Amino acid sequence: MSAVTREAVEACLRQFTDPHLDQDPVSAGCLREVDIQGARVTVRLELGYAAGLFKNGWAQMLQMALENLDGVDSAQVKVDCVIDSHQGQAQVPALAGVKNVIAVASGKGGVGKSTTAANLALALAREGARVGILDADIYGPSQGIMFGIAEGTRPQVKDQKWFVPLEAHGVQVMSMAFLTDDNTPMVWRGPMVSGALLQLITQTAWNDLDYLVVDMPPGTGDIQLTLAQKVPVAGSVIVTTPQDLALLDARKGVEMFRKVHIPVLGVVENMAVHICSNCGHAEHLFGEGGGEKLAAQYGVELLASLPLSMAIRMQADDGKPTTIADPESQIAMIYQDLARKVGARIALAGKPAMPSIEISED
């Protein structure tokens, strides 16, 4: 029986691709330790994104592969998730209590941006991350409803300076709607909204968040630009439908983020296809392949494609979005995959990998 070497272990690991990083764990810099004690091998990997529902299966797959190596009697693979801070634009100060800010935006309203933001936040939390969501859609705040927070609920004030975010489904939630009457429209000019929103972001006592998801207002006006220039955004997600008009506005959203040097992590396509509940017929009501074309045009990834589903709408209206209302459903699995991909894209754009440690029996 030949002795096991580090080179053989790495070669084995390189045969498997992390579906969220699109790289093998060695090339992605995830390998932290290789311990070879005779015929026993222990490997420790470190993922830079939240992957609580993925890491155990990933570890088992790699363990089985290592145990098939010549000279290996037993193998153990440990996978940890360590989320570092990847702040955004230069000259923008970090946000207290927040490691990474994710902006969810759209060029126009009505494309499912807020629903995507809510499910993304909940999916990240299910993966084991500490998550908050900020409802920055001043003119049409909806996150309070989606998270089942009763109308009229107000945040506590700490030290006469900080708003304490409300908590629902394990996510810290803050919205201008919590400070105003739900039935009173915000008749404010752009600069007033921008100022109030920045105050809300910076004066909320976020509690040790790995990710803060910001549900941006639709469009590309001064509110969006102010947020993009004043908040340290690690990456943005563009939400669209396959419809030509929505894609036209989504392109403007991509261009806006690029102009302010914020990475576009990818595109989410909503309402991609409708499946008839009676006969199962599939119909592309808003066009076909639009999100994929947009992603290809700008060299970004199509992160997810979601159907036009009554369940998504009903569950959000009931205050329990799909990710927690029906966590084992196919749609919920799409949101979980979206969350892991978003976290992985932020990790890839962040800090260089740490060196790995090798321990061998001499």
Q: Is residue 60 part of a domain?
A: yes
> Helix 244-259 to helix 222-230 angle, to the nearest 10 degrees?
40
Q: Which tens digits make up the pLDDT trace of 292-327?
A: 777 777 778 889 988 888 888 899 989 999 999 999
Beta bridge partners of 104: 215, 237
Provide mean pLDDT across the span 26-40.
Answer: 94
Same domain flag for 105 and 74: no
Q: Give the pLDDT score at 355.
A: 45
Same domain flag for 201 and 62: no
Residue pair 201/209 in contact by the 8 Å Cβ criterion: no
Q: Which range of residues forms the domain containing residue 154? A: 98-327
CA distance 171 to 169: 6
Q: Which tens digits make up the pLDDT trace of 249-258?
A: 778 888 888 8
Q: Which tens digits make up the pLDDT trace of 74-95?
A: 999 999 999 999 876 666 778 8
Q: Give the pLDDT score at 234.
A: 92
Q: Is residue 175 part of a domain?
A: yes
The DSSP element (H or E) to which 291 belongs, if any, is helix 290-298
Q: Which tens digits make up the pLDDT trace of 161-185?
A: 899 999 999 999 999 888 776 666 6
Q: Is the pLDDT of residue 141 over 90?
A: no
Q: Which tens digits make up the pLDDT trace of 114-124?
A: 999 999 999 99
CA distance 66 to 35: 13
Report the range of poorest mean pLDDT among 20-24, 165-169, 216-220.
216-220
Same domain flag for 76 and 103: no
DSSP for residue 23: B
Domain containing 129 — which CATH number? 3.40.50.300
Q: Give the pLDDT score at 354.
A: 44
Q: Give the pLDDT score at 161.
A: 87
Q: Is residue 145 part of a domain?
A: yes
Q: Which tens digits make up the pLDDT trace of 337-360?
A: 999 999 999 999 865 444 444 455
Q: Is residue 181 part of a domain?
A: yes
pLDDT band of residue 246 (cuts 50, 70, 90) is: low
Q: Is residue 347 part of a domain?
A: no
CA distance 250 to 180: 30
Q: Which tens digits make up the pLDDT trace of 51-70?
A: 999 999 999 999 999 999 99
CA distance 185 to 246: 25
Q: What residue has token string 């396509």?
A: 269
- Known binding-site residues equal 107-114
What's the domain count of the chain?
2
Same domain flag for 70 and 149: no
Q: Is the pLDDT of residue 285 over 50?
A: no
Q: Is residue 143 part of a domain?
A: yes
Of 79-88, 219-228, 274-283, highest mean pLDDT: 79-88
Same domain flag for 59 and 127: no
pLDDT band of residue 331 (cuts 50, 70, 90) is: very high
pLDDT band of residue 284 (cuts 50, 70, 90) is: low
Same domain flag for 176 and 53: no
Residue 325 makes CB contacts below 8 A (sequence gap 6+) with 315, 318
Q: Give the pLDDT score at 186.
A: 61
Same domain flag for 37 and 174: no
CA distance 299 to 319: 35
* DSSP letters for 94-162: PPTTEEEEEEEE-SSSSSSHHHHHHHHHHHHHHTT--EEEEE--TTS--HHHHTTPPTT---EEETTTE
Give, in degrees to the nearest 5, the angle at Cα 195 between 156 and 254.
Answer: 110
Q: Give the pLDDT score at 291.
A: 67
Same domain flag for 115 and 181: yes
Same domain flag for 67 and 193: no
Q: Give the pLDDT score at 277.
A: 61
- Known binding-site residues for ATP equal 107-114
Q: Is residue 344 part of a domain?
A: no
Residue type for 170, please? G
- Output the six-digit token pair for 287: 């066009």
Same domain flag for 170 and 50: no
243 or 327: which leads in pLDDT: 327
Same domain flag for 10 and 151: no
Nearest Cα neighbor of 131 from 121, 116, 119 is: 121
- Give the mean pLDDT of the chain: 85
Q: Is residue 1 part of a domain?
A: no
For the entire predicted model, the pTM comes to: 0.90
Domain containing 70 — which CATH number? 3.30.300.130
Same domain flag for 78 and 102: no
Q: Give the pLDDT score at 223.
A: 74
